Amino acid sequence: MSELNLHDEFPPVTREAWESAIRADLKGADYEKKLVWHTEEGIAVRPYYRAEDLHGLEYPFGRGGAPDAAPRPETIRADTHHEAGATAVQELGYALAEGVERLAQSDAREIEFVFAAGSTFFFEIAKLRAARLLWARAVSAFERQAEAPCAMRIHVRTSRRNKSNYDRYTNLLRATTEALSAMIGGADQLTVEPFGFDEHLALNVERILREEAHVELPADPVGGAYFVEVLTDSIAREAWKLFQQLEAAGGYSAAVASGSVAQGIAATRADREKAVALRRKTLVGVNNYPNLIEKEPGFEADADHRLAEPFEKIRERTTRHAKATGRYPRVLLLKRGDLKMRMARANFSLNFFGCAGFDIEEAEQLEGKQPDLIVLCSADPEYPDFAREICPVATAPVVVAGYPKDQIETLQAAGVKGFIHIQSDAVRTLTEWQDRLGMQQ
């Protein structure tokens, strides 16, 4: 039997070959726009990484064992920045600045950092890895002869800002991935917070990861993964820059007192809220893929700055209207013409108005229907004739799914009252339609 030689079977492929194949598949499309993810942290994530991408990393990662627990460690609550809207870079930069300030004011031998893990899986892993690297770099400035450096203890809890009162078992799925990223990232302690689901499920998530998946056994499960190593380095670099800016401005307390920390987080939160409203950032069950059967929240959350709140208020308003009138508003998705376009736009419209808690019906004919709102779902060239047929006989406002720029005036002249499309601000548009349908606040 001949010896299997995988090196011969799978010869190395150069970066030039990968790039050539990618550009051929793109067929002239913009590489940066199609394949490079520009994150809210200002980091450009490439579509793939190779061994040579690890050359020149400023923060190569190496993880030792967890520190021994101290009786009364100092605590830095970085998770409060996360919940207020901070990015991973801000969470790290502010925590590092506060930790250094605390260390300068005391003789602490261990500081516990409390982080919150969000749902951007690899970023949360990289964030925790970067935290250890940054703390080691910062603490080195405080080391004195015959003194051990101040140890970093990482306590991670699952995030609240991405959770919702609706579709609560999606919260369980989010918490599971968050817990996994925390353990892979090197958390010394983990808290899985129940958010609408039973407490025993929260406990079981951690038990399964520890006792069945054995996630904690490898010292660094993602060590050597090109993407994670580069991401760790990128986050660490940006967080260190932010830390240096805070130090140059007088330190963490001075930054808090001046309002710069709050302002920085508020700006980030506003950008993220806009992305959710425009549905560029998806919260499953909240601004996309809603559970159409679930009309009322499964519980009432007590947490500020949650991204789901604007959509929750819209759905709560719809429910109050239904209780007052005896029924939920009915949206009819009227489909015609090109099969591919009508199905795609009907699905888009179902998700769009479903996020407001409306009842949704699909049909190809208007006869016999008594909707509160009609959405035409077809291809752009077919909309003018479609609108001229439906608008004169419709007893409800007519909306077009899509935004055919060259036909807007024609469609409005035919009686179309609005448009929904991928650039629509869902919060604003759904609220406007609640107003136009006469729903009380």
CATH code of residue 219? 3.20.20.240
Domain identity same for 355 and 254: no
Record the pTM.
Answer: 0.90
Lowest mean pLDDT among 216-225, 259-268, 282-291: 216-225
Query: Residue 231: its pLDDT value, please?
Result: 97
pLDDT at 143: 62
Q: Is residue 81 part of a domain?
A: yes
Domain match, 265 and 321 both: no
* Domain-located, residue 25: no
Considering the domain architecture, whether residues 79 and 197 belong to the same structural domain is answered as: yes
User: Average pLDDT, stretch 363-374?
Assistant: 93
In a 13 Å sphere around the CA of 180, the CA atoms on its Cβ side amount to 15
pLDDT digits (tens, 9 = 90+) for 184-233: 999 999 999 999 999 999 999 999 999 999 998 888 999 999 999 999 99
Is it the case that residue 304 has pLDDT exceeding 90? Answer: no
**CA angle, 436 as apex, 275 and 318 as ends, to 5°?**
65
Domain check: are 83 and 153 in the same one? yes
Domain identity same for 243 and 359:
no
Q: In which band, very low, low, confident or very high, does the pLDDT at 62 lie, cut at 50, 70 and 90?
A: low
Among candidate residues 240, 274, 308, the one where a domain is terminated: 274
Res. 147 pLDDT band, cuts 50 70 90: low
268 and 156 in one domain?
A: yes
Q: What average pLDDT does range 31-55 have in this prediction?
A: 92
Share of the chain above pLDDT 70, in %: 95
- Both 268 and 352 in one domain: the answer is no
Q: Which of 274, 292, 308 is the last residue of a domain?
A: 274
Q: Is the pLDDT of residue 259 over 90?
A: yes
Q: Give me the pLDDT at residue 1, please.
A: 53
For residues 206 and 350, state if they share a domain. no
Angle between helices 226-248 and 88-105 (to 10 degrees): 50
Q: Number of folded domains in the chain?
A: 2
- Asked if residue 309 is part of any domain, the answer here is no
Whether 233 and 322 share a structural domain: no
**Of the candidate ranges 5-9, 42-46, 301-305, 347-351, the one whose mean pLDDT is the lowest:** 5-9
With bands split at pLDDT 50, 70 and 90, how would you rate the model's confidence at 66?
Answer: very low
Residue 300 within a domain: no
Tell me which residue range forms the domain holding 419: 316-436
Higher pLDDT, 59 or 398: 398
Confidence check: pLDDT of 151 > 90: no
Asked whether the predicted pLDDT for residue 146 surpasses 70, the reply is no
| C-alpha closest to that of 307 among 264, 349, 266, 273 | 273
Chain mean pLDDT for the chain: 92
- Assign 144 a pLDDT band (cuts: 50, 70, 90): low
Q: Quick one: what percent of the chain has pLDDT higher than 90? A: 82
Same domain, 158 and 80: yes
Strands 359-363 and 373-377 turn out to be: unpaired
**Co-location of 322 and 227 in the same domain:** no
Residue range 387-409: average pLDDT?
96
Instruction: Indicate whether 404 pLDDT > 50.
Output: yes
Report the CATH number that the domain containing residue 397 is assigned in CATH.
3.40.50.280
Count of other CB atoms within 10 angstroms of residue 384: 16
Question: Which residue intervals of 43-159 are DSSP H helices?
Answer: 79-84, 88-105, 121-139
What per-residue confidence (pLDDT) applies to 70?
45
Is pLDDT at 415 greater than 70 in this prediction?
A: yes
CA 202 to CA 192: how far, in whole Å? 5
CA proximity to 399, closest of 367, 382, 421, 381: 421
270 with 327, same domain: the answer is no
Which residue's structure tokens are 């079981």? 204
pLDDT tier, 338 (very low <50, low <70, confident <90, very high otherwise): very high
